[in-house]
């Protein structure tokens, strides 16, 4: 295969970049001649360039690497853009998490009001990115995993209805991986039926083609009796997956997305959270520090053997989607798409996460052809409405709509607290947010 593709990674300074690039380089069906690292933070982009160049040399990988902070250079003649930008970076994530916690409300990067704070920031930055991409490469596929994804997808649909964008989240893959590994299944044999909003959904069935049956009920039983095997997880994720046992004990009809813990058990999550040291702090001391340490090792030529970036599950998912588009493979992925009847009894203008086939013609969502239960529907309707109100607030610069969005969010106990947190976030976000009046 001749080398022909150019891929740009937007938000290249992220600690996920080495894993994604190694996945691209190892993928048999993608023949990439150039990777462009694009980030508006020049220092982080330069750090990543240094790391990637080191890895390419160490592994004898032949590719043209470009680093740029200029959108024209980043997007002209490109074939794919992978976006993982995080507007406001980890410092703002810390505020998203800590401000609600001051009021005894869940603080999380994508769920609850932390997700809404990030959402208003992220829409602003992401729509600018899409504008640049539309200008320099209107036909390019954008593979997006910038959060919070439902809010991003809703805003892009409104502002750039013709943009070629696929919104994907790796969470269901991670759930399937840990379930398969915990109980000795082979996930390659699975046809999962999943429905929900992003970070807010349930499995309806998991058909195993080798066992010739739906194994979701037995998976739920196993989680109830044994719990998931969290021995390979870092503490934060180990806690999350341990909580899954409680979720299925109380609601055993469906295997849930772990993120539902923030909406169903905010009381327990608050007890498990240290308001002085949240996930953002763990990442500052973990992934972020690893980047800085790695840069230092390369610059001083010391301890190079300990540099341990590997091809990642996270990267695998996004790269598989690109390969499915490129080679018309009809791969099946859970993607974030306009509902339009995919979940028949949910409002059709919701943005949902459902199984989709990906081929040269783009994304083909499946229709579930069954009505989801009222419990799930009710939770989702409230979430859809609150997210839509937030997107309205963004486009209309409306404080009122933002207050309604915050009040309706199911992690929030009352409108007084909603307003206090909203006002704190307005101050904390400054120019990252649109003006609200």
Say which entry of ligand G6P, Mn ion, none residue 84 contacts (CB below 5 to 8 A, set by partner kind).
none
Q: How is residue 392 written in tokens? A: 């309205």
**Residue from 147, 204, 312, 409 that binds ligand G6P (CB under 6 A)?**
147
Tokens 């929900």 map to which residue? 196
Under the binding rule (CB under 6 A), the answer on residue 144 touching ligand G6P is no
Residue 160 or 237 having the CB closest to ligand G6P: 237
Say which entry of ligand G6P, Mn ion, none residue 283 contacts (CB below 5 to 8 A, set by partner kind).
ligand G6P
Nearest-approach distance from CB 171 to Mn ion, in angstroms: 5
Residue 201 or 266 having the CB closest to ligand G6P: 201
Residues whose CB is less than 8 angstroms from the CB of residue 319 and which lie 6 or more positions away in sequence, other chains included: 20, 23, 24, 27, 30
Per-residue interface string for the shown chain with ligand G6P, residues 278-307, x marking contact by CB under 6 A: -x---x------------------------
Report the catalytic residues: 170, 259
Nearest-approach distance from CB 169 to Mn ion, in angstroms: 3
Residue 171 or 382 having the CB closest to Mn ion: 171
Nearest to 156 by CA among 83, 112, 164: 164
Nearest-approach distance from CB 279 to ligand G6P, in angstroms: 5
**Residue from 49, 96, 170, 261 that binds ligand G6P (CB under 6 A)?**
170
Is the Cα torsion angle 95, 98, 100, 103 positive or negative in sign? negative
Instruction: Answer whether 21's CB lies under 8 Å from 35's CB.
Output: yes
Using CB under 6 A, which of the segments 120-128, 168-176, 294-302, 377-385 binds ligand G6P?
Answer: 168-176
Under the binding rule (CB under 5 A), the answer on residue 351 touching Mn ion is no
Under the binding rule (CB under 6 A), the answer on residue 96 touching ligand G6P is no
Under the binding rule (CB under 6 A), the answer on residue 171 touching ligand G6P is yes
Helix (H) or strand (E) segment spanning residue 113? helix 112-136
Nearest-approach distance from CB 192 to ligand G6P, in angstroms: 16
Nearest-approach distance from CB 171 to ligand G6P, in angstroms: 4
The DSSP annotation for 125-164 comes to HHHHHHHHHHHH-TTPEEEE-PSSHHHHHHHHHHH-TT--
Using CB under 6 A, which of the segments 52-60, 111-119, 167-175, 317-325 binds ligand G6P?
Answer: 167-175
Give the β-pairing of 32-38 and 64-68: parallel
Nearest-approach distance from CB 341 to ligand G6P, in angstroms: 26
Say which entry of Mn ion, ligand G6P, none residue 279 contacts (CB below 5 to 8 A, set by partner kind).
ligand G6P
Under the binding rule (CB under 5 A), the answer on residue 120 touching Mn ion is no
Burial of 435 (C-beta count, 10 Å sphere; 0-12/13-18/19+): exposed
Separation of alpha carbons 180 and 120, rounded Å: 36
Separation of alpha carbons 388 and 246, rounded Å: 30
Separation of alpha carbons 158 and 180, rounded Å: 38
Size of the site for Mn ion (CB under 5 A): 2
Q: Which residue is nearest to ligand G6P (CB)?
A: 171
Burial of 70 (C-beta count, 10 Å sphere; 0-12/13-18/19+): exposed
Separation of alpha carbons 140 and 245, rounded Å: 42
Using CB under 6 A, which of the segments 41-49, 126-134, 169-177, 373-381 binds ligand G6P?
Answer: 169-177
**Residue from 169, 220, 248, 368 that binds ligand G6P (CB under 6 A)?**
169
Per-residue interface string for the shown chain with Mn ion, residues 169-208, x marking contact by CB under 5 A: x-x-------------------------------------
The DSSP annotation for 226-250 comes to H----TTS-HHHHHHHHHHHHHHHH
Q: How many residues does the chain have?
A: 437
Separation of alpha carbons 132 and 124, rounded Å: 13
**Residues lying near Mn ion in the complex (CB under 5 A):** 169, 171
**Residues lying near ligand G6P in the complex (CB under 6 A):** 110, 147, 169-171, 279, 283
């Amino acid at each position: 295969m001749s080398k022909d593709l150019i891929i740009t990674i937007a938000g290249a300074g992220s600690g996920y970049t080495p894993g994604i690039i190694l996945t691209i380089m190892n993928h048999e069906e993608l023949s990439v001649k150039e990777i462009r690292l694009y980030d508006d933070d020049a220092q982080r982009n330069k750090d990543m360039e240094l790391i990637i160049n080191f890895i390419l040399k160490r592994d004898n990988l032949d590719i043209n690497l470009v680093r740029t902070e200029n959108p024209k250079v980043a997007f002209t003649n490109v074939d794919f853009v992978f976006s993982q930008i995080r507007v406001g970076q980890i410092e703002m994530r810390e505020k998203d998490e800590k401000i609600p916690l001051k009021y005894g409300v869940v603080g999380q990067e994508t769920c609850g009001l932390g997700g809404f704070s990030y959402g208003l920031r992220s829409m602003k930055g992401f729509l600018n990115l899409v504008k640049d991409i539309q200008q320099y490469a209107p036909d390019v596929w954008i593979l997006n995993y910038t959060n919070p994804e439902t809010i991003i997808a809703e805003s892009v649909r409104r502002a750039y209805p013709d943009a070629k964008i696929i919104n994907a989240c790796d969470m269901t893959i991670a759930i399937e991986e840990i379930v398969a590994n915990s109980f000795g299944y082979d996930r390659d044999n699975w046809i999962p039926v999943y429905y929900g909003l992003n970070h807010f959904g349930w499995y309806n069935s998991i058909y195993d083609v080798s066992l010739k049956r739906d194994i979701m009920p037995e998976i739920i039983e196993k989680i109830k009796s044994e719990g998931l095997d969290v021995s390979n997880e870092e503490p934060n994720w180990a806690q999350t997956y341990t909580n899954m046992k409680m979720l299925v004990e109380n609601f055993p009809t469906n295997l849930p997305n772990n993120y539902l813990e923030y909406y169903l058990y905010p009381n327990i999550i608050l007890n498990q959270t240290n308001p002085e040291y949240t996930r953002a702090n763990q990442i500052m001391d973990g992934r972020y520090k690893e980047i800085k340490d790695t840069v230092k090792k390369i610059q001083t030529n010391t301890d190079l053997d300990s540099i341990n970036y590997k091809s990642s599950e996270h990267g695998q998912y996004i790269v598989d989607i690109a390969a499915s588009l490129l080679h018309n493979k009809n791969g099946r992925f859970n993607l974030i798409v306009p509902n339009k009847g995919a979940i028949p009894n949910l409002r059709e203008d919701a943005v949902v996460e459902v199984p989709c086939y990906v081929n040269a013609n783009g994304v083909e969502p499946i229709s579930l052809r069954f009505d989801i239960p009222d419990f799930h529907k009710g939770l989702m309707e409230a979430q859809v409405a609150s997210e839509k109100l937030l997107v309205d607030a963004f486009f209309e610069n409306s404080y009122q709509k933002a207050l309604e969005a915050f009040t309706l969010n199911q992690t929030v106990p009352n409108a007084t607290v909603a307003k206090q947190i909203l006002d704190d976030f307005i101050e904390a976000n400054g120019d990252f947010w649109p003006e609200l009046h």
